[in-house]
Each structure stands twice: as C-alpha cells, then as structure tokens.
Amino acid sequence: MTESFSTLRVNANRMHDSFIHLALIGATGDGGVSRVTFSEAHLAARNWLRTEIENSGLEFHMDGAGNHSALLACNNKNAPTILLGSHLDSVPNGGRFDGALGVVAALEVLRTVKENRIKLGVKLEAIDFTDEEGTLVGLLGSAALAGRLHPEALKNPRGGREDLIAGMNRAGLSEAGIFKAARSKGSLAGYLELHIEQGKRLERAGFNIGVVTAIVGIRSYRLSFIGRADHAGSTLMEDRLDAGLGASAFTLAAREIVMRDFPNCVVNIGKMDFAPGVFNIVPLRVDVSLEFRSPDADQFAELDGALIECAKLEAERFRLDLRIEFLGGHAPSAMSENMQQAFMNSCDTLGLTHMSLVSGAIHDAQSLNGICPIGMIFVPSVDGASHAPRELTKWEDCVNGANILLQIALTLGSG
C-alpha cells in the first residue's frame, strides 16, 4: 500500500498561503514575529488556526491546556491517533518559522489526506501546543497532554506566577482544566514533528533533512548575587560589595567552563536584573537568568554541579551572598529508533538527502517521550539563525519537510 503513496505531495501553494497569513499575525516589521504566549498576537494566531481548520472541513478541538487541534477520523472509532504538530507561540521578536512551520505543515498533511480520500488505519491529529517557548512555563501544552505536568511548574513558573495567571485568564484556561488535558494511555500511536534546525549543521553539510536522534536536556536557574547598596561616589572601591561583579565574573566563567570541559553542551545568561539599578548606587542585587543544555544525562549532572560551584566561588570572591533558585528543566530525550528509520526511508523514497543530528533546542516532542514513539525532523536554517527576525528556511525546504511528514504519516497509518 505504501508504494501507491510515494507520488502523493502536499499542496505547496495552499500551505504557502497559510504560512504567509500566519506570519502576518504579530509581524514585527523587520521580517520577524512577536507572539509570546497569550499575548494579543498569539491569541489572534490561535483564532486564525481555528478558522483555518474549520474552513478545511476538519474537526476543531481545544483541550483544557488550550492546545488547538485539527482532527481527521478513520473508520475504526477505537483506532489510536498519530499526532503531528508544533507550536504557534514565539519568543519576543522571534522568527516566522520556529513552530509555525510545523503546525502549518501538520495541517496541510491532514488536508492532503482528506482531499485525496485516503483511508488510514489511524486517526490523524494536527496540534498547536500551548506555550512551547517558555515565556510562561515552557512545553506547557505538550506536558499537560502527556499527563506529565507537575503542579509545581504552575506554582513557580519561569515567567513568573502573575504573568501565568494573567495569560491563563486571557485564554480562558484554569489550572484544573490544564491537568484535564492528559490523554489516556494507548490513545497515541506516535508523535511526529517537523521543525527548522535553528543551527548551521544541515546548511554546512548540504543535506535536505535532519533526522533527530535526541533532544538535549535543559535546566534553568535564577542565581541572585547579593551585595550591599552604597553611594557610588563616596564609598571606596575596596569597601564595596558590588553584586554586578559576581554576576559578571560568573557570566564569563560559565562560558569558559562549557567551552573547555563540556564541548557538547551550551550555556546562556539571557538576562541580568540589577537592583536598585541606577547610575549612582552600587548594585545591591543582580538576578542572573541561567539556562544550560546537554544531550547526555551524566554529563548534564556534571555540568550542573560545575556551574553552581562556579557561582558560589565567584560570589565568595567578591564577598557576596548567593541565592540559588532552580526553575525547572527537562532530561535529555532519545527519539524512537523505529521513527528515525521510518523518516530515513521516507527521505529515500522522495529522493531527499538526510543526516542524523542532536537537537540543541527543546521541543514538544520530548514531553511525549515514553508516552508514545516520537520522531522529529529538521529542515535547514539559513545561516543557522533562529529566535530572531532574520530566521529563514527556503520555501522548497519547508515543502520537503511537509512531504516527508506526509509520507511518514501515510506509511505509519497504513502499516
């Protein structure tokens, strides 16, 4: 049966129309989009998707976590579902492709299957997961769907509890409702995601498709270096307890540690908040936003220890106090080997080149690790740019990715 599907393709023009319409929602004027979770632009994009689903004759569904889905049934009411998807939320001043491509492609796969009246042995579902990027919590919708959301994640979210509550109110969600989004065991036959690489490896190697072998683990901390507020003119340099010095020294040292001892890992200090934060007062307190990632669990624990030890040493060196607040994280996730093989077969069927790689970015796929087989592919990012307005993937690469997603859905759904 697979043989007969090998010539089927998504409707690239229709998918392009959808992609362009979506890219205008929250457009920042410099080629990017700002659709942080439950912002006005994000809510508009969610409404757009609902209309797009309904106009396609697909069934619309929203669960308690605010995940929006298109559903395509099959003859067997009890058949499991193959879930395809990604997310519509973006980082502030992000790009048009991150998440959006995967949602649009998943929808296009369902539209293609539907209009070709293909009978599969599984249900298909194209999903937009809530708050993947972590403006509020991170992987919120996918973790809730997988039944893995920890109540603590809503109590002390990395974007702050107030912003979470305000956002939930805007989207009409409740905490109890979010936990009700959990799917029953065995209802999912697999989760498949198309995403942009957000790195330079495919472009450098000249390959069409990246087959993801694992997603890195990620942890975030708020490290508060605490000194003393003093007059910045009349206090001698040697008498100061300057919180900015500890934060700065840690920032430089963390990078050194990773580049020297953990070449497969990355670390980011994305923000420092200075208090009181004025020209003429020695900084009392600097809150450092720390995030780091590793593809390997053992190495991850070692890196965690090294960074926290480094923060302690730098605080001590400048006679500062240090408060360490763990904000959450995810373990590294291996992709299903069967899914990896199926993706490679689909690439071979369509004559597309492919390479295996680790995802340095987190993705909703990892929430479903262990719940159902998960698989993920990347398409090349021009110059590796992402989380920025200059994020770009050539349209032919986007279409290639959507066609691979179609092929694997057909293969798995008819197998």
State in angstroms the smallest separation of the CB of 239 from its own copies: 7
State in angstroms the smallest separation of the CB of 242 from its own copies: 8
Compare residues 25 and 245 and give the one whose CB is closer to its own copies: 245
Q: Are 105 and 201 in contact (CB under 8 A)?
A: no
- Pairing of β 81-86 and β 333-334: unpaired
Q: Residue 329, Cβ neighbours under 10 Å: how many? A: 17
State in angstroms the smallest separation of the CB of 361 from its own copies: 4
The rounded distance, in Å, linking the Cα atoms of 191 and 409 is 10
Compare residues 179 and 274 and give the one whose CB is closer to its own copies: 274
Compare residues 122 and 385 and give the one whose CB is closer to its own copies: 385
Distance, C-alpha 203 to centroid of its chain: 21
Name the region of 281 (left: φ>0; alpha: ψ -120 to 50; beta: rest).
beta
Distance, C-alpha 409 to centroid of its chain: 22
Compare residues 103 and 357 and give the one whose CB is closer to its own copies: 357
The rounded distance, in Å, linking the Cα atoms of 316 and 299 is 26
Compare residues 362 and 368 and give the one whose CB is closer to its own copies: 362
E strands, 63-158, where? 68-72, 81-86, 123-128
> Contact positions toward its own copies, by CB under 8 A?
91-93, 133-135, 158, 197-200, 216, 218, 220, 228-239, 242, 244-245, 247-249, 251-252, 255, 258-259, 266-272, 274, 276-284, 289-291, 293, 359-362, 384-388
> Closest Cα to residue 373, out of 103, 139, 191?
191
Question: Which pair of structure tokens corresponds to residue 362?
Answer: 């987190």
Q: Are 284 and 245 in contact (CB under 8 A)?
A: no
State in angstroms the smallest separation of the CB of 363 from its own copies: 10
State in angstroms the smallest separation of the CB of 159 from its own copies: 9
Compare residues 72 and 88 and give the one whose CB is closer to its own copies: 88
Q: What is the DSSP string of 372-413?
A: B-EEEEEEPPGGG--SSTT----HHHHHHHHHHHHHHHHHHH
Compare residues 36 and 49 and give the one whose CB is closer to its own copies: 36
State in angstroms the smallest separation of the CB of 93 from its own copies: 6
- Pairing of β 354-359 and β 209-215: parallel
Compare residues 115 and 239 and give the one whose CB is closer to its own copies: 239
State in angstroms the smallest separation of the CB of 13 from its own copies: 29
Compare residues 184 and 234 and give the one whose CB is closer to its own copies: 234
Compare residues 2 and 93 and give the one whose CB is closer to its own copies: 93
The rounded distance, in Å, linking the Cα atoms of 236 and 241 is 11
State in angstroms the smallest separation of the CB of 135 from its own copies: 8
State in angstroms the smallest separation of the CB of 229 from its own copies: 4
Distances (CA, A) of 229 to 271, 274, 289: 20, 11, 21
State in angstroms the smallest separation of the CB of 88 from its own copies: 17
The rounded distance, in Å, linking the Cα atoms of 15 and 249 is 48
The rounded distance, in Å, linking the Cα atoms of 96 and 305 is 36
